[in-house]
Structure 1
Amino acid sequence: MKAEIITPSLTIFNDDGSIDYGGNRKLIRHLIDNKVDGIVPLGSTGEFTSLSFKQKKDFIDFYLSEIDGSVKVLPGTGCINYQETIELSNFALAKGAEGVLIIGQYYYAMTQADIFHYYDYLAKQIEGNIYLYNFPARTGTDITPETVLRLLQNNKNIIGMKESVSTFTHTKDIMQLIKTEFPQFKMYSGFDNQFLDNIDYGGQGSIGGLSNILPGLWSKWANAKEDDLYNEVISIKEKILSLMKLYQIEYNCSGLFKELLKARGLDINTTTLFPFEDVKKESITEGLELISQVMDE
């Protein structure tokens, strides 16, 4: 199975905070023209927590219409209200999404029994493919391999997962536990620098935010891995490892990534929603210098 790069896309806004559909169209074309395999609108880098339910629906409708099957679309549909998660998920699937990516509850602490109950209930109400989204740094809870296995055994429509975890060991443990019973399960790493580990252990690739800025580098990496071009794979790996520093320049990377995209030639509005609307000029300079240094090596 070919290695994949799926982009958790930024959301482009007008100055007043409304969605800039023209700007998002430019970003979509930027990603597709640079050969990404799929896009996740309303993911973590898409500022989904700041959008109303209606805005999310309208945005998903726009995305699916604009992309029209040219690449896979996995909208983030996790809401703090589980009924909205169900409604938004079924809406996206009815409109043609390949699946929906659902983050766990991100306020109340949850036991593994709670996590199982939550996803098991959602899966039985959602009419289509579900991808679990494990991001313990944001939700405060971690989905264990045993809970993943139990969910798969009880719900055929849970077909994949995104793992945003600090060490790949957790992802590897899940894959090793489920691979015999569920060999077709699709595992994606949320951190860009875990792409090669993911592929080597039988995963599909990465849903990595850096591909917003450099999707061409990412698609080149996936193709090099597919074609067993070892030197090129390692060369790009070193670039990605260096570029991971971009996540550390600003606590919320969305605004910085928009500024970097614009500075590199994509004509978009760089508005980021409150309370992260101010990106320091020195952060933009540092980010551009890092990209220039890495890409010129």
Structure 2
Amino acid sequence: MKKAKFLTPVITAFDAEGNLDVQANKNVYDYLIDSGIDGLVVMGSTGEFYAMSIEQRKELIDLVVPYVNKRTKTIIGTGCMTIEDTIELSNYAIGVGADAVIVVSPYYFGLTDANLDFYYGEIAKAVKGNIYLYNFPDRTGYDLSPEFTLNLLRKHGNIVGYKDTVSEMGHTRKLIKTVQNEFPGFEVFSGFDENFVHNILVGGSGCISALSNLYPEIFVNWVKSVNNKNIAKIAEIQNCVDKMSELYEISQCFIPILKKAMMFKGLDIKDYCKTPFLQADEKQTNAIKELMEEVDHIIS
């Protein structure tokens, strides 16, 4: 069994005008690093990369990489709609000192394996660092299949990992079983918090999921419990995370909900998001408070 890891796809803190809130972002990074989380994934879906210009994404790279300063692993989301932009942003991140980049494939049109092989192949050949694939079929409209992934790994040694944001663990299990004999060091992470333990049990590396922004200490403890094979503690935390996952159900646009919850947790940030996301309304705010009270009761 691989050593378990939990990485946080970090929220991006903005001001009311949609500019980066530099100090608030630093507050979040310190909070996560001090809690002992295994790494930060910056400008993933939770980080609202899709609503940021290339220039603002570079601005955030220039903020996070030197500030984190290798205190934990830093992976930068660099997927764009074109190969050229993805390569430019990826090499910018690697050049500043990021540990790796994670690339979601283009969305809107469905793409064939031939399209995807060309897209990722050109990127892998041009990017001067390690790359993680980001599979999110609900958003891209298609799947990076286990067979496609294996073929890609055989051709490009700098593709080192994969985030599988699917609720069906059967897909992740098949991916792991398909690639692990030839590429035992290839990291496969689940994209849903509650699938963390199942991922490890089938040979994966852990999870990259958003609730660790809010309660990183719980997820750090979960990792320790898995690595120490403490079954009772694993089950206890699973119960807590299952309840915590109800946060996603408060709104289809969960990022403003998560930011509001982080404010209630005591972080010095605001809950501004890129438009068209709206801040949590009164009903949603009350639901957040009630859920956090229930979670805190379970923890205590």
TM-score normalized by structure 2?
A: 0.97
Equivalent pair of 1:123/1:157 in contact (CA under 8 Å): yes
- Give the SS at the match of 2:77: coil
Structure 1 residue 261: Cα displacement = 0.7
Aligned residue for 1:101, secondary structure, equals strand
Question: 1:26 and 2:44 equivalent?
Answer: no
Structure 2 counterpart of 1:184: 185
**SS of the counterpart of 1:292?**
helix
**Counterpart-to-counterpart distance in 2, 1:186 and 1:230:** 23
* Paired residues of 2:83 and 2:122 also in contact (CA < 8 A): no
The answer to whether the aligner puts 1:87 opposite 2:108 as a matched pair is: no
Q: In the TM superposition, what is the alpha-carbon distance from 1:214 to its structure 2 partner? A: 0.4
Q: How does 1:85-164 map to 2 (within 5 A)?
A: 85-164=86-165
Of the structure 1 ranges 115-124 and 229-238, higher mean CA displacement relative to structure 2 is found in 115-124
1:176-255 to structure 2, matched below 5 A, reads 176-255=177-256
2 CA distance for matches of 1:284 and 1:226?
36
Q: Any stretches of 5+ residues in structure 2 without a counterpart?
A: none
- What's the counterpart of residue 285 of structure 2? 284
Q: What does the per-residue CA deviation read over 1:223-260, in whole Å, with 9 as the maximum and x for residues that have no partner?
A: 11111111010000011112111112111111111111
Q: CA RMSD in A?
A: 1.0
The answer on whether the counterparts of 1:239 and 1:295 sit within 8 Å (CA) in structure 2 is no
**CA shift for structure 1 position 288:** 2.1
How far did residue 121 of structure 1 move?
1.5
Partner of 2:295: 294
Distance 2:246 2:86 in 1: 33
CA distance in 2, matches of 1:181, 1:148: 12
Q: Indicate if the aligned counterparts of 2:271 and 2:279 stay in contact, CA closer than 8 A.
A: no
Partner of 2:39: 38
Query: Which whole-Å CA distance do the structure 1 matches of 2:283 and 2:16 have between them?
Result: 22
CA distance in 1, matches of 2:77, 2:87: 12
SS across alignment from 1:147: helix
Deviation at 1:202, TM superposition (A): 1.6
Aligned residue for 2:76, secondary structure, equals: coil
Residue 174 of structure 1 is matched in structure 2 by 175
Q: Give the Å deviation of 1:2.
A: 2.5
Of 134-143 and 92-101, the range deviating more from structure 2: 92-101
| Over 3 Å off, 4+ runs | none
What letter is aligned with 1:205?
G
CA shift, 1:3, in A, is 1.1
Code of the aligned partner of 2:170:
T
What are the Cα deviations for residues 123-166 of structure 1, in whole angstroms up to 9, with x where unaligned?
11111100000000000011111100000001000010000012
* Identical aligned residues as a percent: 37
Q: Give the number of aligned pairs.
A: 297
